[in-house]
Amino acid sequence: LDGELAPGERRYLTLLRTSTSEALFADRRFRNRTLVLEGRRFPRSDLVEVTRYQWFEDGKLRDVYYWCEVCSIKTLDPGECACCQGEVEFREEKASGR
């Protein structure tokens, strides 16, 4: 929405609930955080599909994700590992320069 809003103007968007955005709804660690969301907005709507998220910790941007130690798979989905169906572990680290 950069450049679309006048200073001080607000717009409310609806986040599409997908496996990628599920953590935003299901994981309590995301509550009361300042988030940076990336995604795509559907044309002529206020519906957003989240494809990446980060948060601020002590003023620094952090990548947050889930990791399967067994399969070495990084995912945004807090559910079971897509490969082994084992438990994934929540992790955060200094934001990558993507």
Q: What angle do CA 18, 87, 32 make, to 5 degrees?
A: 55
Model confidence, pTM: 0.82
Residue 38 pairs in a beta bridge with 52
Give dist(CA 88, CA 75) in Å, integer: 9
pLDDT tens for 36-85 read 999 999 999 999 999 999 999 999 999 999 999 999 999 999 989 999 99
pLDDT tens for 39-48 read 999 999 999 9
23, 77 contact by CB (below 8 A): yes
